[in-house]
Chains A and B, each alone.
Chain A
């Protein structure tokens, strides 16, 4: 009796595409649709000249109305195609994943078929033949199921391709656009009419957003990205999408103006900030999660390239702020502005990597936040003191209020699913963070000060921050000159001509938990260079910050506090401590 062998599994057709590039196409089309939508708004508003009368005025206004109506219809049509392209990118990603699974199954089945063929070629007893025949039947069944799955996959791909092509072709000409979208109300308009006014709390904003249908949310993101992109209470994913559209549009506008030779000085600054924001996103997306090996997700949480007289405001997250178990908000210090975004993105990504490496069972998001007008000059880099007086708290006070609002927004957008939230202030950013806590009730679980020149003049003890002192953490490299600028003992800098930024949070009197933060490169003397090493891989500081961010307090390595005797200079027990080099990322 001859054994009936199973057929070989069907090959899975190739699928050559780039969902990321398709996603980029969708983003560009959405940005262009937002621009066309602006024309519709303009034609119905500012283009009308109310104090002009007469025949010429009537002729002009008669022409303006149809221009606006056409723009509105074109905007809706382009937005619909962009959304379909966005969905197409997701569909292609899913099809690629399914194809990979099908191909894995095909290879596995091919090995089983080959085994059957080899066994059948051997001399077999009748009993062995029966047994092999049963194996062959089982393999044939699996081959048949695989073949059906491949056929389904092919059908799904063809359906997806056909629907994408139909979306492109149905609004190819403007007659079709007018027929399908002329006079159609933009769902964004009604949604924006219900939007709470300026001064609404993040919770009120969030309630409004959650009351919108998915269609209305999509419409608002596309038509009015500026209305929600930086609005506290809107979920980070939606803010990212809106801000990405705004960023894409700004880059196109200002690069075009530059090429046309008509860019203004202000626009040149804004363009530089927009390009820095884009590089920050690329910096994060170019890194990989140490646990999954996947690219790290970036979210553009704050984007205002013209803020603070052109210094710019920007915040980008490494990781998903809407879902992460542990969220960290890092506030940088002096000399930080919109153009610092790529440098700060590197720090955020490094902290993300370390936190994930040390706590692989939980998810993380690390947001660098340049949302306040940090003083421009860095005196310890010999740039001198600016007119505003960098050694005072003015900018930090204003920044503290903004930081507290930002944290309230993060909290409101995750009502019912709160993250473990840590605010980290570095350098002058620690002053800002301290003032946010002391003056505005910063709603975080932990606060971390590193490289602090002082945490605000009215804060004499960790308990003044409104946070359990057990959750107030401070790290200072003993060689970091900046950390010696804070108040020690009874000598208070802010009493000296208004200079000084408050107490050193690592001093024993302050009552915070001090962690080890020495850098292996430290020398014998104090140095400003040591001030910028707290977020480097393989340092005590990064490891300890990561443990706090993850809520793994038992793994923090504590350091003895600084002490200021009544007579003599302040003393730091870490001066003579051995420096550790903990692992904060995978080998290689």
Chain B
């Protein structure tokens, strides 16, 4: 059986942090505002900001997916027969998303 070390749990938490930070960055792009531009540019600026907010949101979602994927891997390992109690105890704090 493939052993899943605790470092996988730490990586999952780090992906969660990336998700949170990038979701904030997406909001930052979306709220950057196009009102300061001239009317000739404002529409293009607004379209860019909206589109890039979605781009960054998608990257944020990818990070969340990575974290969730690692947690599923850990859960599968914890649920499998033959996993030692020590391994289960070590991984348990990382099985639930904290933020």
Q: Which A residues have a C-beta under 8 Å from some C-beta of B?
A: 15-25, 28-29, 31-32, 35-36, 38-39, 42, 46-47, 49-57, 60, 63-64, 67, 70-71, 74, 78, 81, 88-89, 92, 157-158, 161, 164-165, 168-169, 172-174, 248-249, 252-253, 255-257, 260, 262
Contacts and interface: CB of A to CB of B under 8 A. Distances in A.
Of B3, B55, B63, B99, most buried by chain A (CB within 10 Å of CB) is B55
Given A16-B39, A32-B28, A165-B41, A256 B5 contact: no
Interface residues of B, number: 49
A542 B99 CA distance: 50
Given A17-B37, A168-B45, A253-B21, 13 more contacts: A20-B36, A21-B35, A42-B18, A49-B8, A52-B4, A56-B4, A57-B2, A67-B66, A74-B55, A88-B37, A165-B44, A172-B47, A249-B28
B86 interface: no
A262 B99 contact: yes
Given A20-B36, A256-B24, A56 B11 contact: no
Contacts of B39: 16
Main secondary structure of the interface of A (DSSP, over half): helix
A204 to B, nearest CB: 32
Interface string B10-50: 01001100101111111111011111111111001101110
A10 B11 CA distance: 66
A17 B38 contact: yes
B37 A22 contact: yes
17 contacts: A17-B37, A25-B34, A28-B31, A29-B28, A31-B25, A47-B11, A56-B4, A64-B66, A67-B66, A78-B52, A88-B41, A92-B38, A161-B40, A165-B40, A168-B45, A253-B20, A260-B20
Contact of A174 (B2, B55, B70): B55
Nearest to A174: B55
B33 A25 contact: yes
Contacts of A249: 24-25, 28
Interface of B: 2-5, 7-8, 11, 14-15, 18, 20-29, 31-41, 44-45, 47-49, 51-52, 55-56, 59, 62-63, 66, 69-70, 73, 98-99
Given A49-B8, A168-B45, A35 B36 contact: no
A291 to B, nearest CB: 28
A46 B11 contact: yes
Contact of A161 (B4, B41, B59, B62): B41
B67 to A, nearest CB: 10
Of A19, A29, A35, most buried by chain B (CB within 10 Å of CB) is A35
Sort A-B residue pairs by CB-CB distance and give the 8 closest, nearest first: A21-B36, A256-B24, A54-B2, A262-B99, A18-B36, A35-B25, A22-B36, A168-B48
A249 B31 CA distance: 13
Given A35-B22, A257-B24, A49 B5 contact: yes
A50 B32 contact: no
Contacts of A63: 66
A311 to B, nearest CB: 24
Nearest to A162: B40
Contact of A24 (B21, B24, B33): B33
Nearest to A22: B36
A24 B66 CA distance: 33
A35 B24 contact: yes
Nearest to B20: A257
A45 B20 CA distance: 18
A32 B44 CA distance: 19
Given A28-B29, A49-B8, A262 B56 contact: no
Contacts of B98: 262
A413 to B, nearest CB: 30
Contact of A172 (B2, B7, B27, B51): B51
A19 B41 CA distance: 13
A448 B10 CA distance: 51
B45 A262 contact: no
B56 A36 contact: yes
B14 A71 contact: no
Nearest to A169: B44
A84 to B, nearest CB: 11
Given A17-B37, A19-B36, A31 B48 contact: no
A16 B33 contact: no
Contacts of B56: 32, 36, 74
Contacts of B32: 24-25, 28-29, 32
B98 to A, nearest CB: 7
Contacts of A32: 25-26, 28-29, 32, 56
Contacts of B34: 25
Contact of B25 (A36, A46, A53): A36
A50 to B, nearest CB: 7
Contacts of A25: 32-34, 36, 45, 49
Given A38-B21, A70-B59, A262-B99, A161 B38 contact: yes
B33 A21 contact: yes
Contacts of A164: 37, 41, 44-45
Contacts of A67: 59, 62-63, 66
A89 B41 CA distance: 12
